[in-house]
Amino acid sequence: MTSIRTFAVLLLSLLAASPIAAQERRVPQSAAELRLSYAPIVQRVQPAVVNVYAAKVVQNRNPFLDDPVFRRFFGLQGGPQEQMQRSLGSGVMIDPSGLVVTNVHVIEGADEVKVSLSDKREFEAEIVLKDSRTDLAVLKLKGTRESFVTLDLANSDDLLVGDVVLAIGNPFGVGQTVTHGIVSALARTQVGITDYQFFIQTDAAINPGNSGGALVDMTGRLAGINTAIYSKSGGSQGIGFAIPANMVRVVVASAKSGGKAVKRPWLGARLQAVTPEIAESLGLRSPTGALVASVVANSPAAKAGIKSSDLIVSIDGQTVDDPNAFDYRFATRPLGGTAQIELQRGGKPVKVAIALETAPDTGRNEMVINGRSPFQGAKVANISPAVADELHLDADTEGVVVLEPGDGTTAANVGFQKGDVIMAVNNQKIAKTVDLDKAARETARVWRITVLRGGQQINVTLGG
């Protein structure tokens, strides 16, 4: 008995001295511990959280100006009136040189962006990089060479449900505010905000204006970028979502390297969710994993030996619950080298190594259609493997894809959307952007257009 007790005491002393014990999560043990404060963390990280102000000029046209009788009778004069629209959000300083990360939706379409620091100083900022797929943007402060306070990025994979977190931002424009809560859930994949559905859910109060602000862990590191709330009233109802720091790290690295777009690994396979019916047919205990629906020839997936009907269950030892989880895990892997993927094939485990390389993007040939047509103002491109991957199109899709319909353009007013594939115009097959440009320059009273949207073919007739 004595030897066992001695061994237990020795074991406890070793555990107390180990890093594991230092990171042990426990509930408060006394009234004194309940009186502990988050102030030291806040004082350290608050200077790195900024306010972001974006402004754009919009044209407001009085419809009566088009009628000469109304103009003469009511004395209306002039053309479209300019109006300044402003949006407010938050951001996080992630590099001493003045790099700030925020949400794309905070600065989308802005003609002018300003950043206000916690000490009330304001700087004009330029947009270095926008990544709509993650809703993350990187800004650079202008006209300064000083070194700024920054936040270090945490490994967001270390977060656990129940961990305490702080949300810092500028809700409703009232000024920098700190709220606290816990991590309510991890790997939320059915939120529908961005292409990469893998969010940290928190009950820390997040409100309009918090977008782009910091979600901070108890070590004072950036765990995520606050992005959205679930609310029926417009205010916080205890359900907020943040983009994990590991995804932020990928976007920031691309900005620091001078890239204008984020480069990510390309799988070259289309994945689908496992339904209960599919799980039953495969003999699975639960409907989890990402089922391979098809594989692109000569893609990394094909070269690794991945086949249709394979079930992806993990990547580099991390469990894959659904296609969204795989997309996130794969997208946060650094380019170069390989990733280890575990599959189920015919009920047997298979491991493959897949090369982490970007999708080919030759022949994209982007252009803006300027001809007087329903496509006027739309930015379009040929469907390269990179474009297909970016817009979730099948690699063998034929046609020209709409990258951006453009604000206030004819194309936008007609109803074209990002990701629409234009297959034919007035019975002419559209294979390349030059075909669409040529068709748009022709004079036509009636436009018969075939569009592929969300996998469904739509025939539209305009004019007549």
β-bridge pairing 164-169 and 136-141:
unpaired
Which residues sit opposite 136 in a β-bridge?
A: 103, 131
Clarify whether 132 is annotated catalytic.
no
Helix, strand, coil percentages for the chain (3-state, nearest 5): 25, 35, 40
Annotated catalytic residue within 105, 217, 254, 420:
105
In a domain, 459, yes or no: yes
Asked if 296 and 290 count as a contact pair (C-beta separation under 8 A), the reply is no
Clarify whether 156 is annotated catalytic.
no
The pLDDT of residue 392:
81
pTM of structure: 0.75
DSSP, residue by residue, 393-456? --TT--SEEEEE--TT-HHHHHT--TT-EEEEETTEE--SHHHHHHHHTS--SEEEEEEEETTE
Number of independent structural domains in the chain: 4
Residue 437 dihedral angles phi and psi, to the nearest 5°: -60, -40
The pLDDT of residue 362:
83
The pLDDT of residue 364:
86
In a domain, 32, yes or no: no
In a domain, 436, yes or no: yes
| Domain's final residue, options 223, 256, 289 | 256
In a domain, 222, yes or no: yes
Annotated catalytic residue within 87, 116, 131, 135:
135
Asked if 227 and 136 count as a contact pair (C-beta separation under 8 A), the reply is no
Q: Which domain holds residue 194?
A: 156-256
User: CATH number of the domain that 380 lies in?
Assistant: 2.30.42.10
In a domain, 25, yes or no: no
User: Of how many residues is the chain composed?
Assistant: 464
In a domain, 37, yes or no: no
The pLDDT of residue 5:
43
**Same domain, yes or no, for 128 and 191?**
no
The pLDDT of residue 2:
42
Clarify whether 211 is annotated catalytic.
yes
| Domain's final residue, options 326, 355, 384 | 355
Mean pLDDT per block of 10 residues along the chain (464 residues) reads 41 46 70 80 91 74 53 52 67 93 88 88 92 90 90 90 89 78 76 66 80 90 84 62 90 86 89 90 87 91 93 92 88 90 91 93 88 89 88 84 88 89 92 91 86 88 74
Long-range contacts formed by 34-38: CB under 8 A, 24+ apart: 38/166, 38/178, 38/180
Cα-based torsion angle of the residue sequence 387, 126, 197, 51 in order, rounded to the nearest 10 degrees: -170
Asked if 352 and 374 count as a contact pair (C-beta separation under 8 A), the reply is no
Annotated catalytic residue within 211, 236, 254, 373:
211
Q: At 381, is the secondary structure helix, strand, or coil?
A: strand
User: CATH number of the domain that 119 lies in?
Assistant: 2.40.10.10
